[in-house]
Structure 1
Amino acid sequence: MKIKILLALIFVNLMHAQKLYFPKTAVADSTVLEKQIPLLATKLMAQPQLQKLKKTNRLAFTDNLYRLQILAGEYKKSVATLSDYRKEFADHNMAGNKFIVHEFYSLAKLNEEKDKIPFPEALQKAFNKKYESLSDQLTAKVGIAVDGDVRDSKRIMTEALNKQKDKDSIDYASALALCKSYLNYKTYSRLKPQITQLVAAKDQEKFIIETKDIKTKNGNTLTITIVRKKENTSPLPVILTNNIYAGEIDLYFGKRAAVYNYVGAVVNTRGKRTSNDENNPFEHESQDIYEVIDWVSKQPWSNGKVGMIGGSYLGFSQWAAVKKLHPALKTIVPQVAVGIGIDYPAQNNIFMSYMLQWIQYVTNNKLTDEAGFNNFAQWESVFSEWYKSGKSFRSLDTISGKPSKIFQRWLDHPGYDEYWQKMVPYKEDFANINIPVLTTTGYYDDDQIGAMSYFKSHHLYNKNANHYLVIGPYNHGGAQSFGFTSVSGTTIDPVARISIDDLAFSWFDYTLKDGKKPALLKDRINFQVMSTNTWKHAPTLEKMHNSTVKFYLQDHKNAPSVFKQPSGKSFVTQTVDFKNRDQKETYHKVSKIDSVKTTNSVYFESEILDKDLIMSGNPGGFFNVSINKKDFDTEMSLYQIQPDGKTFLLSTHMVRASYAKDNEKRQLLTPGKTEQIPIKNSIFMSKKIVKGSKLVLLVGVNKNPNWQINYGSGKDVSDETIKDSGEPLEIKWYNDSYVEIPIYQE
């Protein structure tokens, strides 16, 4: 008993030791706050939690360290840390990060101290020196790199401060969050106005920038921004981007094309900037882009050739553009393209809660509602409120406080019907697409399923499709910018750290200027095999692998091998109570150091692998199940448990069972009858799975605030409520079900 008390006292003392002094007066008094933040930052740098990160997560350690050094006034050290950061984590191209604004601040403070000059003058000097050291490709990105949202950064800082009301101490995590939010607000609010002016002055020196309206035949207005290098006086090919995310990014997209010696043209969708038309995302792109291409191809600065580029919605836009192909459009480079109706706003026919957040992001004003979109705590609260209420998914927009016609219209089309089909090429439409295409996506890309669906359809309906694919360990941002050093906590191979911009514009040189084909494109499929530091190349998706392994729904402890067909038929029963909204998360310990989340899932584990395997492709197979309802939404996750005990997510799959065989037509299940659910449109991955690993398979049911909940009544899922759930869902997972894993063997 005495030992327990002693341990408890030690624990309390340790917890108390983690608290740092931070006076409550700093919450309301900005003068006190300004004095206390440097002291707090200095204390944080000495904390064991930060030093531990140096060994366990160097990316997070370095990111935290340079920020704390700035706040502590250690400007010279912060610049050195940032330099190391870029060298080690491949952020030298500023793709998607805001670090350069912090560097400008440190450099300006050093100039201010050294030269005894006012801060604005010191900042201009720092800006000019840094700007001149950058390549043309990087100078084009400076504007968006410093385009932080001042109001949102202030909101985040205020929220962090409010948590400290009436407190004179602060814990490590809260202190770190406060310091980082304070730095963002301080740098963006103080630097952004001046740097924006400095960038604009540089742009005037280098570019001819025009913004004008285009009137369509139907009387709609579209705003277009054209950017040309002053030194390029002859007509050039035009690189067009169709952008719903109107804002500073428009100018960047234009400059990006111009610095590669093209004309950059960026057109905004209906309802954005000066357009007073109704903003209905996705619906009018095919028609509008055709007219925009016609216009730009006839301008004096155009040589009549047009290419298109862009990611996500901008990637979708290119497929919309080739629904009706304009003769001047010579090539497209769709990156991480949204598969409208396929992976967004529903993935395999399951609508996502995020769709409402996105709709408001792009329709709340003439640009984008950054503050509303990035208020993740508020959106999490909305999704949680809906989930706990048991109301229909159709009520989500009302719960958010802003009813949406777009949201409701999308829900009216749960199958891949004519509404979605008319927006992009459909089936035989792909046979008419005879221009060269370069698709880029990633193993961690949120729109991988969409990007791959276009690629597969193009090759299915056009046997001569001149369509190349580059896929590697990239997330949604990386596959349209730069292969970072680390993705989702995983360090990627050096060979994968390529510039997607350089690849794309080398492709444009090849297709629009008779240049050489990019060296990476050795075959139609070009994929990076993780953990091997190599790229491989194949003529078709099927040739990415040369064999398969079937993982049956059985545990190796009760069968000779999960990879061998069961000798007899059996099943595992799973019960899911949809009425339980206070369900605790469950986890399965897979090693001494790691676990996998098993909430609403059944767990299957393989024996230890006695040889290396290379998984290349996406899993297939099918589930044999019987349920006591008419429908349910399945989830599947395939993990590698590495020899060191760490987990690695290889692939996932989710689908509405009633649409699994045909995403256009719903086919309800018969309660009590054994049904077969095919596994299609799962996530692609290419990775070496080393000897000594195990594979873990989780199969289960989708039930969480981020997605529709299918109660299985057979009604339109968007209209179902918790009252439709009835008795708990009971699933029998039969052991002759299997997930077929694509394997490449040397």
Structure 2
Amino acid sequence: MKIRILLALIFVNLMQAQKFYFPKTAVTDSAILDKQMPLLATKLMTQPPLLKLKKTSNLAFSDNLFRLQILTKEYKKSISTLADYRNEFADNNMAGNRFIIYEFYSLAKLAEEKEKISFHDALQKAFNKKYESLSDKLITKLGTAVDGDVQNSRKVLNEALSKQKDKDSIDYSSALSLCKSYLNYKTFSSLKPQIIQLVEAKDREKFIIETKDLKTKNGNTLTITIVRKKENTSPIPVILTNNIYAGPFDTYFGKRAAVYNYVGAVVNTRGKRNSNDENNPFEHESQDIYEVIDWVSQQPWSNGKVGMIGGSYLGFSQWAAVKKLHPALKTIVPQVAVGIGIDYPAQNNIFMSYMLQWINYVTNNKLTDEADFNNFTKWDSINTAWYKSGKSFRALDTISGKPSKIFQRWLDHPGYDEYWQKMVPYKEDFAKINIPILTTTGYYDDDQIGALSYFKAHHQYNKNANHYLVIGPYDHGGAQSYGFSYVGGRKIDPAARISIDDLAFSWFDYILKNGKKPELLKDRINFQVMNTNTWKHVPALENMHTSTVKFYLQDRKNMSSVFNQPSQKSFIKQIVDLKNRDQKDTYHSVSKTDSVKVTNSIYFESEVLDKDLIISGNPGGFFNVSINKKDFDTDMYLYQVQPDGKTFLLSTHIVRASYAKDNALRQLLEPGKIEQIPIKNSIFISKKIEKGSKLVLLVGVNKSPAWQINYGTGKDVSNETIKDSGEPLEIKWYNDSYVEIPIYQE
């Protein structure tokens, strides 16, 4: 075994060390670069790392191969590889527009060569032919699919080339990265702006697209885009989307509604597109959307019925809209809805560094700053610089070089106070919401906690709530579009690969056109059980499980099972130095093939399970702890160790201990006293756990550049600095603490 591992390491090192000839003159001479790139791509296509991908991840292999084939001018093969990729990526060609811009490039190149015509004429010919084969649903996505960023792709290419300055060779990973950035620039610059004009010309044939500015009663300006199918001449229902991400998606959202035979109306928030008003995300939606609904419901193309749809911020907007319900609003379909003040910009009262990146994304200009938002290297370095500096979290915007009033204002509200409460329905407000609602979210959705918080509150305060939930193995994007074959690099069950668009508009047909209820909605809660290829349907969230097991925080070496309550009370002591900024990550081997990161965590492991079980719902329970400070931020990770030794993350939970009992009221801990921290708002999952698996539980302290650091003084955490760290945080985790795991049985 040791010899095989050693040989594998030697092989990896050799591959990393392998160099390919690449003249330094290619960095500054575009003619030489154009000549060298096909040669470099040809070499990469036969290299072991690429060929090995075919065995380990056919998806990743195809993703790389079609790009290299384009560079080597094997255009027919690239189109075939792309088709294989799409079939693997999502069934029924639901991802039909994925990478279609490269297909247009290859088709145009083939036509250029075969018919001896200009590339301009070849692109028009190829576009028209391909367009005829696309369904209406794929046509709606075409404008955004071909809108490659030429300027940014040129910047990325220059950055890749600059790394080769004064070098005559290039390693494999750098070469592959260079090939991709070169292809992006070559494709985007060759096709734009012609292909955008071609899409717009086709849109004009099919749709009536209008953009107007609306004036609110307070004098604010909102830009609205209306899209109608030319063939729909009678008044029909309107599907409204409230969009802070002004840009190409405005037209896309409108066209999407239009092809399902609705009027698509997409309004941008204050400060976006043609609005010169101040842009304060989340703050004015309730008021503004009411007026927008009032306007669209009275237009000649509207029959007076309005529905709303959208995901993330657009999902939040719908809950803001029902804070003051307009009579014309008949239904909403909030997808992966941001739970403002609940899961963003703080999750369970812990602010995230990402909030500043997002604020800049939507406020830097009248549209969206894609280049800045997607500059992950920049934002990683900013967050790391803050973390290393030991400065207060309030200093993050200053460290970024761009102070932000919005960032500072949000930090002024660490509890779920009136500032957040007034943006969406709160408590008894939910009792007044009597329109039908369809919520969609996923087990991997970043805003799952928010989406479910609205669902739970609606049913809590309105016992007759006509509110359905669909949840499955979807991430933030998948739960508002279509079910990809892969999520997080893992293949999902075929039954889960549904079109969320089809589901949503079938719902609109059901509510707004007296159509048939979507087949999937057999009960209020509709959830896909991973690893079973089945859906389950129950009347309430608590019915997602039929029993629970308690996983106690104790060392299994001293007992028969972590699932048995300990006979004697004891604790495990954990010490975390909050001022240590050079801490190295540590890992625990769970098998011969996998490990989990245990930095700042305590590791607990169950025995091997002797039968299959289905974990379904979200873990609860309590942590009984005593600490030497007034507060700390705790996290929890629940893993499955599969029979093959691979780990699978089932659920996570983070919370500020002082807000764990009430997210609106801070209750500091008393140093040295045993305190109980409830586990609420953990991540939902439904998955069959195979016999022969183990469960692994990690509990510990949340401390990373991605989040605020709670030094435990009891002061506003945003104002604490490394000087407040004092002595290391000492936690006693008592063994009568437990994570309660929900189990489903037929």
Q: TM-score, normalised by structure 1?
A: 0.98
Aligned counterpart, 2:434: 434
Q: How far did residue 308 of structure 1 move?
A: 0.1
Q: How far did residue 94 of structure 1 move?
A: 6.5
Aligned counterpart, 2:198: 198
Aligned counterpart, 2:737: 737
What one-letter code is carried by the residue in structure 2 that aligns with 1:342?
I
Counterpart check, 1:609 vs 2:635: no
Q: How far did residue 296 of structure 1 move?
A: 0.2
What one-letter code is carried by the residue in structure 2 that aligns with 1:721?
T
Q: How far did residue 18 of structure 1 move?
A: 2.2
Aligned counterpart, 1:105: 105
Which whole-Å CA distance do the structure 1 matches of 2:587 and 2:672 have between them? 30
Counterpart check, 1:386 vs 2:386: yes
Q: How far did residue 172 of structure 1 move?
A: 1.3
Q: How far did residue 192 of structure 1 move?
A: 2.8
* Conservation of the 8 A alpha-carbon contact between 2:94 and 2:499: no
Aligned counterpart, 2:420: 420
Counterpart check, 1:636 vs 2:636: yes
* Conservation of the 8 A alpha-carbon contact between 2:91 and 2:497: no
Q: How far did residue 59 of structure 1 move?
A: 1.1
Counterpart check, 1:153 vs 2:130: no
Which runs of structure 2 are paired with 1:309-320 in the superposition (5 Å)? 309-320=309-320
Q: How far did residue 28 of structure 1 move?
A: 1.6
**Distance change (3 Å), C-alpha of 1:23 and 1:47:** same
Aligned counterpart, 2:325: 325
User: What is the CA deviation profile of residues 476-522 of structure 1, one whole-angstrom value per residue up to 9, with x for unaligned ones?
Assistant: 00000010000001100001000000000000000000000000000
* Conservation of the 8 A alpha-carbon contact between 1:98 and 1:146: no
User: What is the CA deviation profile of residues 290-318 of structure 1, one whole-angstrom value per residue up to 9, with x for unaligned ones?
Assistant: 00000000000000000000000000000
What one-letter code is carried by the residue in structure 2 that aligns with 1:179?
C
Counterpart check, 1:595 vs 2:591: no
Which whole-Å CA distance do the structure 2 matches of 1:412 and 1:50 have between them? 50
* Conservation of the 8 A alpha-carbon contact between 1:151 and 1:371: no
* Conservation of the 8 A alpha-carbon contact between 2:636 and 2:700: yes
What one-letter code is carried by the residue in structure 1 that aligns with 2:377?
A
Which runs of structure 2 are paired with 1:436-451 in the superposition (5 Å)? 436-451=436-451
Counterpart check, 1:22 vs 2:22: yes
User: What is the CA deviation profile of residues 235-279 of structure 1, one whole-angstrom value per residue up to 9, with x for unaligned ones?
Assistant: 000000000000011000000000000000000000001111000
Aligned counterpart, 1:709: 709
User: What is the CA deviation profile of residues 638-684 of structure 1, one whole-angstrom value per residue up to 9, with x for unaligned ones?
Assistant: 00000001110000000000000000000000000000000000000
Aligned counterpart, 1:298: 298
Aligned length: 742
Q: How far did residue 555 of structure 1 move?
A: 2.7
User: What is the CA deviation profile of residues 45-80 of structure 1, one whole-angstrom value per residue up to 9, with x for unaligned ones?
Assistant: 101001111111111111111111111111111100
Which whole-Å CA distance do the structure 2 matches of 1:413 and 1:679 have between them? 22
**Distance change (3 Å), C-alpha of 1:123 and 1:480:** same
Aligned counterpart, 2:234: 234
* Conservation of the 8 A alpha-carbon contact between 1:96 and 1:145: no
Which whole-Å CA distance do the structure 1 matches of 2:121 and 2:574 have between them? 68
User: What is the CA deviation profile of residues 11-58 of structure 1, one whole-angstrom value per residue up to 9, with x for unaligned ones?
Assistant: 799257622221121112111111111111111110100111111111
Which whole-Å CA distance do the structure 2 matches of 1:194 and 1:334 have between them? 36
Which whole-Å CA distance do the structure 1 matches of 2:96 and 2:656 have between them? 34
Aligned counterpart, 1:720: 720
Q: How far did residue 92 of structure 1 move?
A: 6.5
Moved beyond 4 Å, runs of 4+: 6-13, 91-98
Which whole-Å CA distance do the structure 1 matches of 2:72 and 2:457 have between them? 56
* Conservation of the 8 A alpha-carbon contact between 2:290 and 2:321: yes
What one-letter code is carried by the residue in structure 2 that aligns with 1:632?
F
Secondary structure (helix, strand or coil) at the match of 2:332 reads strand
Which whole-Å CA distance do the structure 1 matches of 2:331 and 2:430 have between them? 14
Q: CA RMSD in A?
A: 1.5
Aligned counterpart, 2:556: 556
**Distance change (3 Å), C-alpha of 1:88 and 1:9:** closer
What one-letter code is carried by the residue in structure 1 that aligns with 2:454?
Y
Which whole-Å CA distance do the structure 2 matches of 1:482 and 1:93 have between them? 10
Which whole-Å CA distance do the structure 2 matches of 1:678 and 1:155 have between them? 49
* Conservation of the 8 A alpha-carbon contact between 1:95 and 1:481: no
Secondary structure (helix, strand or coil) at the match of 2:726 reads coil
Aligned counterpart, 1:131: 131
**Distance change (3 Å), C-alpha of 1:197 and 1:16:** closer
User: What is the CA deviation profile of residues 170-221 of structure 1, one whole-angstrom value per residue up to 9, with x for unaligned ones?
Assistant: 1111111111111111111211311100000001101111101110000000
Q: TM-score, normalised by structure 2?
A: 0.98
User: What is the CA deviation profile of residues 592-638 of structure 1, one whole-angstrom value per residue up to 9, with x for unaligned ones?
Assistant: 11110111101001100000010110000010000000000001000
What one-letter code is carried by the residue in structure 2 that aligns with 1:243?
N
Aligned counterpart, 1:81: 81
Which whole-Å CA distance do the structure 1 matches of 2:548 and 2:479 have between them? 27
Which whole-Å CA distance do the structure 2 matches of 1:544 and 1:12 have between them? 46
Aligned counterpart, 1:627: 627
What one-letter code is carried by the residue in structure 2 that aligns with 1:499?
S
What one-letter code is carried by the residue in structure 1 that aligns with 2:270?
R
Which whole-Å CA distance do the structure 2 matches of 1:319 and 1:8 have between them? 54
Of 220-229 and 91-100, more deviation after overlay is shown by: 91-100
Q: How far did residue 152 of structure 1 move?
A: 1.8
Secondary structure (helix, strand or coil) at the match of 2:501 reads helix
* Conservation of the 8 A alpha-carbon contact between 2:97 and 2:138: no
Which whole-Å CA distance do the structure 1 matches of 2:249 and 2:120 have between them? 25
Identical aligned residues as a percent? 84
Counterpart check, 1:210 vs 2:194: no
* Conservation of the 8 A alpha-carbon contact between 1:387 and 1:705: yes
* Conservation of the 8 A alpha-carbon contact between 2:263 and 2:302: yes
Q: How far did residue 126 of structure 1 move?
A: 1.1
Aligned counterpart, 1:661: 661
**Distance change (3 Å), C-alpha of 1:101 and 1:142:** same
Which whole-Å CA distance do the structure 2 matches of 1:23 and 1:92 have between them? 45
**Distance change (3 Å), C-alpha of 1:275 and 1:95:** farther
What one-letter code is carried by the residue in structure 1 that aligns with 2:234?
S
* Conservation of the 8 A alpha-carbon contact between 1:107 and 1:123: yes
Which whole-Å CA distance do the structure 2 matches of 1:416 and 1:688 have between them? 35
Q: How far did residue 102 of structure 1 move?
A: 0.5
Aligned counterpart, 1:527: 527
Q: How far did residue 556 of structure 1 move?
A: 2.1
Which whole-Å CA distance do the structure 1 matches of 2:16 and 2:129 have between them? 47
What one-letter code is carried by the residue in structure 2 that aligns with 1:165?
K
* Conservation of the 8 A alpha-carbon contact between 1:320 and 1:425: yes
Which whole-Å CA distance do the structure 2 matches of 1:554 and 1:310 have between them? 45
Of 96-105 and 620-629, more deviation after overlay is shown by: 96-105
What one-letter code is carried by the residue in structure 2 that aligns with 1:451?
A
Aligned counterpart, 2:402: 402
Of 557-566 and 212-221, more deviation after overlay is shown by: 557-566
Aligned counterpart, 2:57: 57
* Conservation of the 8 A alpha-carbon contact between 1:625 and 1:733: yes
**Distance change (3 Å), C-alpha of 1:62 and 1:436:** same
Which whole-Å CA distance do the structure 2 matches of 1:308 and 1:271 have between them? 21
**Distance change (3 Å), C-alpha of 1:91 and 1:720:** farther
Which whole-Å CA distance do the structure 2 matches of 1:462 and 1:48 have between them? 60
* Conservation of the 8 A alpha-carbon contact between 2:86 and 2:96: no
Secondary structure (helix, strand or coil) at the match of 2:85 reads helix
Which whole-Å CA distance do the structure 1 matches of 2:709 and 2:318 have between them? 32
Which whole-Å CA distance do the structure 1 matches of 2:19 and 2:104 have between them? 32
**Distance change (3 Å), C-alpha of 1:12 and 1:213:** closer
What one-letter code is carried by the residue in structure 1 that aligns with 2:195?
I
Aligned counterpart, 1:260: 260
Aligned counterpart, 2:374: 374
* Conservation of the 8 A alpha-carbon contact between 1:94 and 1:145: no
Secondary structure (helix, strand or coil) at the match of 2:73 reads coil
Which runs of structure 2 are paired with 1:449-460 in the superposition (5 Å)? 449-460=449-460
Aligned counterpart, 1:245: 245
Aligned counterpart, 2:547: 547
* Conservation of the 8 A alpha-carbon contact between 2:222 and 2:275: yes
Aligned counterpart, 1:275: 275
Which whole-Å CA distance do the structure 2 matches of 1:571 and 1:148 have between them? 56
* Conservation of the 8 A alpha-carbon contact between 1:237 and 1:512: yes
Q: How far did residue 148 of structure 1 move?
A: 2.1
What one-letter code is carried by the residue in structure 2 that aligns with 1:207?
F
User: What is the CA deviation profile of residues 513-554 of structure 1, one whole-angstrom value per residue up to 9, with x for unaligned ones?
Assistant: 000000000000000000000011110000011011110011
User: What is the CA deviation profile of residues 556-580 of structure 1, one whole-angstrom value per residue up to 9, with x for unaligned ones?
Assistant: 2221100000111111111111111
